[in-house]
Amino acid sequence: MRVILVAHLVALVTAQTTLDQPPGPKTWPPTSTLASTLNLAPSVLPNVLDPKAPDAQKLCPGYKAANVVSTENTITADLTLAGSACNTYGNEISELTLEVQYQDTAQLNVKIYPKFLVPSNRSLYILDDSLSPSGSIAVDCKANNSDLVFEWSNDPSFQFRVKRTNTDEAIFDTYGHKIVFEDQFLELVTNMEPDYNIYGLPEAIRGAFRLPNQYTQTFWNQYNEMNDQPIDANMHSTHPVYLETRYANGCSKSHVVYARNLHGQEWLLRPDRVIYRTIGGSFDFYFFSGPSPTEALAQQQLGVIGTPVMQPYWAFGFHQVRWGYQNWTVLQEIIDGYAAANIQLEAIWNDLDYLFQYRIFTHNNNTYPVPEGQEFLERLHANGQYWMPILDPNVYVPNPNNATDANPTYDRGKALDLYIKHGQGDDTSDYIGIQWPGFSVWPDFLQNTTQDFWTNEMKMYHEQLPFDGWWLDVNDQSSWCTGSCGTGRLEENPVHVPFKLPGEPGEINYDYPEAFDQTNATEAASASAASASQASAYPTPSTTVGTATVGFTSPTPGVRNITFPPYALNLTLAGHSLLKQAVAPYATHNDGFHITEYELHNTYGYTSGIATYKALLSVFPGKRPFWISRSTSPGSGALTGHWGGDSNSRWGNMYMTIPQALTFSVAGIPYFGVETCGFNGNADMELCTRWMQLSAFFPLYRNHNSRNTIAQEAFRWATTAESTRRVMDVRFRLLPYQYTLFYNAHKKGETVLRALAWNFPDEESLRGVDNQFMLGPSILITPVLAPLLRSSQGVFPGVPDTRWYDWYTLEEIKAARGENVTLNAPLEHIPVHVRGGSIIASQLPGNTTKTTRSNPWSVLVALDGAGEAKGDLYLDDGVSQEPTDIKQIEFSFAQSTLNIFVTGTYHDKSPLANITIAGWNSGDAQCRGVEVFAGGKSVDGSNVKITNQSGALQVTGLECVVAEAFSNDLCFKFL
């Protein structure tokens, strides 16, 4: 191990000077003044951190309800301000409308919005369906058959509760608090029970899945290029939704609260209340009654945000990417490296390297020439593998003084006038910020012509280089200067981004994971020396340039200050500014009403996503689009998956991917994964080994790395390679199971990655467990999450009623209820357990998902305490958007008989080879034979081999008996 690591380090140190230099100034700081616009001085605007900030609950009068009208499924009322306006952080609105809808038995919607809306101000308050899906009243829904009931009072001012009909328990309760509704500040408070359990509110990197009762979550999508993994802060996505679970008397009930508003906002979790604040929009709450956690989550998807998109089968293979794959030859070497190590690789991805000076829909003619690329892709596709390049939704603006700097993509968009506008006064020019290529503009995806533009660019590109999908980056609408900084300065293009890029002089990363100094002392010492000498050669530039201070001014009557709203969100970037590293809030869309980014900023991930999804459907007619999005919001799950940002190569970051993944289950985006082995910083053998193990159970399994660190592909270290081969075997055997979970998610809103508490909702001790998680209902993962450990610890939920089997040995686990069991976990091993009562169909792993799909089937029956089990399997061609041939298979085992019921027409040609029954008996009962019936007829099963091992019954040699699995109903009687 050490030898390999030293070699890497040396290679890195000598290779650093040969990195392709990006365009622009090579010196730091850049000669232009862009750096001074990078940072605004900390603002003194009041916000949650300011103890002297005006308290709207004390200062504001609240509202009184009148003109209440109830129908069989609605309640409406006028809400009128109950005193003089407080105008704490905006202009208070005196007349509001309350609209309550009983939308479905388990779904209640409460809206409060200004009574007087005209087309020109509507978008300030109402989130259009095109920006995020909404719910509506189901045909037969009536208030008197709802699980939920809406209750209100005017004493002392308008307040409301949502209660469970059958228990009278309030799941949401603003009693004792005021409704505050200003044009730039909304506040509402709900009472919480002591020590409450809430989960969700992504996206944030957090040290716990169960949210603390003293915690603030801010939403405003931003990207911090210096540290993309701030803890407990705003990140790339906005999902104002939480799941709450309440335990009583050995049972639990769960509900979901979703606040449909995508303005910048804050959720203040306090010991006895949750305070919800936004800087615009309206109140639009959805309540889902559950009562189980998975039911509540399904109700949210089926009723409002949509169920998850069905992914193509190949999405579940393993994906490799790195920023720093310099040319097609290097890509080929990586592919060959995986093949030589006998590790499955489904897709090779490209970060920015393939582009000409980072410009979208181009390629670098020197390093990624088209003819060589076409040969490369032909070879790749023939091997059943895929190519996934990066795509950014910003377009480079060429230098007007340089004819060879032309950018045809820009010209085509400009001809259609579809870029987001500067929006200052009467200025109708484009908003020009900074992204990777230099001064850039952003397509306005709200215009119809933009879809045609986006589709056309993608189609033309595909004709040159037949990519298989995209990963859509920086669509949290990041821009690395403040305001339209490129206006009037285009002759400087291509400008360098206003910070040093990884790999540029002075930007080699010498960080290693925790405990590297213990496992690799010599290398750690030389890395630390190299780091010190880099630091003295390249002193860190000061980042605190710019001194403008933004003073707090009371809101001006009739005026909205959208650049510095009176209430400052507690954003992670210095100064809490909405403008930092993002397209400015005053930039406008071309929709006739000039809606500003203040309203739309958090929707850009979704709107750029719809365009990308539709464009991919045009490029691949009838096929499921495969792409992932860095920025998401409610509704995105019906289009795409998501990765968790540029994670750090640290053990703590690896652990925090579990809470992050589970919060995306709450948000209805199950196709989630992270930068395995860490993006920023160097991985080491041990971290990368454990991380490759953990991510193998996340739906998106991708290893990604920055270019100023050592290589970290799974084959780089012998132990990592061996461990990865073993865990890949588990992942690939579980492909049909995982694919079926996605089908059930897509059809029924079921969850894929699950907290233990969701599968065992009545076990209160599980409420905080996030060092373990489950894949669907049946697979329990207990990963190793810290360095130097050769064991992991976890609980076995449901024991003794639930039986658990070791995935690898099929031995039954002996554990007491709540016992923290220590599991042996040498470096090559991750503990995986199968829940008794499950039946899982798997195929022998091939080198890609394609070859796997033609391999023989096995069926694993894991018996419960009554000697029974069941399971299901969904099959189709794995790619069609609307498959016509599908097959659904139900497995059930009882009284020593396995029944397999088959419906549908999809034809799978592989045989059924093995049946394994875990928990058959504690070892002494023999099985003398098996009677096989196919399609109701008895079949000769005399050649079948039966052995007993570790209490499991192994039936092999079935392939001659069942040459095509699942072409008929099957029945196996074990005698």
Residues contributing to the site for ligand NAG (CB under 6 A)? 18, 326-327, 329-330, 356, 362, 365, 402, 404-405, 494
Nearer to ligand NAG, 14 or 365 (CB): 365
The amino acid at residue 501 is: L
- According to DSSP, residue 874 is labeled E
Nearer to ligand NAG, 325 or 760 (CB): 325
Nearer to ligand NAG, 15 or 844 (CB): 15
Sign of the C-alpha dihedral, residues 370, 374, 379, 385?
Answer: positive
| Apex 454 CA angle, 594 and 478, nearest 5 | 60
Nearer to ligand NAG, 148 or 508 (CB): 508
| Apex 539 CA angle, 538 and 545, nearest 5 | 125
Helices 735-748 & 718-733 angle (0-180, nearest 10): 50
| Apex 321 CA angle, 849 and 581, nearest 5 | 130
Nearer to ligand NAG, 19 or 694 (CB): 19
Nearer to ligand NAG, 360 or 571 (CB): 360
Least Cβ distance, residue 515 to ligand NAG (angstroms):
31
Least Cβ distance, residue 360 to ligand NAG (angstroms):
12
Least Cβ distance, residue 507 to ligand NAG (angstroms):
18
Question: From residue 888, how far is each of 160, 853, 876 by CA, in Å?
Answer: 46, 16, 9
State CA 436 to chain mean position distance: 23
141, 145, 148, 154 alpha-carbon torsion, rounded to 10° = 90
Residue entry with tokens 């390049």: 389
Least Cβ distance, residue 318 to ligand NAG (angstroms):
23
- Residues 287 and 725 sit within 8 Å (Cβ to Cβ): no
Nearer to ligand NAG, 486 or 494 (CB): 494
Nearer to ligand NAG, 35 or 334 (CB): 334
- Residues 966 and 889 sit within 8 Å (Cβ to Cβ): yes
Least Cβ distance, residue 528 to ligand NAG (angstroms):
27
Nearer to ligand NAG, 22 or 264 (CB): 22
DSSP assignment of 191-247 equals E--TT-EEEE--S-B-S-SBPPSSEEEEE-----TT-S--BTS--S----EEEEEEE
Least Cβ distance, residue 703 to ligand NAG (angstroms):
19
Least Cβ distance, residue 327 to ligand NAG (angstroms):
4
- According to DSSP, residue 565 is labeled -
Nearer to ligand NAG, 463 or 924 (CB): 463
Least Cβ distance, residue 408 to ligand NAG (angstroms):
8
Q: Is 819 helix (H, G, I), strand (E, B) or coil?
A: coil
Question: From residue 960, how far is each of 329, 849, 902, 910, 965 by CA, in Å?
Answer: 45, 24, 20, 11, 11
Phi, psi of 15 (to 5 degrees): -85, -15
Q: Is 947 helix (H, G, I), strand (E, B) or coil?
A: strand
Nearer to ligand NAG, 179 or 377 (CB): 377
Cα 436 from Cα 445, distance rounded (Å): 20
Least Cβ distance, residue 349 to ligand NAG (angstroms):
17
Least Cβ distance, residue 700 to ligand NAG (angstroms):
28
Count of residues in the chain: 975
DSSP H or E run through 333: helix 328-340
Nearer to ligand NAG, 16 or 449 (CB): 16
DSSP H or E run through 804: strand 804-806
Least Cβ distance, residue 400 to ligand NAG (angstroms):
11
Question: From residue 613, how far is each of 198, 464, 493, 608 by CA, in Å?
Answer: 32, 20, 31, 9
E strand spans, 741-880: 753-754, 773-775, 779-781, 791-794, 804-806, 821-824, 832-835, 838-843, 857-862, 869-875
- Residues 756 and 483 sit within 8 Å (Cβ to Cβ): no
User: In the chain, how many H helices and how many E strands?
Assistant: 18, 46
With residues binned 3-state (H G I as helix, E B as strand, rest as coil), the percentages for the chain, rounded to 5, are 25, 25, 50
Residue entry with tokens 């925090």: 656
| Apex 890 CA angle, 888 and 893, nearest 5 | 165
Nearer to ligand NAG, 357 or 916 (CB): 357
- Residues 256 and 290 sit within 8 Å (Cβ to Cβ): yes
Least Cβ distance, residue 341 to ligand NAG (angstroms):
20
Least Cβ distance, residue 398 to ligand NAG (angstroms):
8
Least Cβ distance, residue 404 to ligand NAG (angstroms):
5
Least Cβ distance, residue 498 to ligand NAG (angstroms):
19
Cα 803 from Cα 862, distance rounded (Å): 9
Nearest to 973 by CA among 869, 860, 892, 895: 895
Nearer to ligand NAG, 71 or 329 (CB): 329
Nearer to ligand NAG, 264 or 486 (CB): 486
- Residues 437 and 357 sit within 8 Å (Cβ to Cβ): yes
Least Cβ distance, residue 363 to ligand NAG (angstroms):
7
Nearer to ligand NAG, 354 or 966 (CB): 354
Sign of the C-alpha dihedral, residues 873, 877, 878, 881?
Answer: negative
Nearer to ligand NAG, 327 or 852 (CB): 327
The amino acid at residue 306 is: G
Least Cβ distance, residue 842 to ligand NAG (angstroms):
39
Question: From residue 31, how far is each of 357, 374, 492, 499 by CA, in Å?
Answer: 20, 40, 11, 12
Least Cβ distance, residue 344 to ligand NAG (angstroms):
25
- Residues 36 and 480 sit within 8 Å (Cβ to Cβ): no
Nearer to ligand NAG, 125 or 368 (CB): 368
Tokens of 614: 């539709």
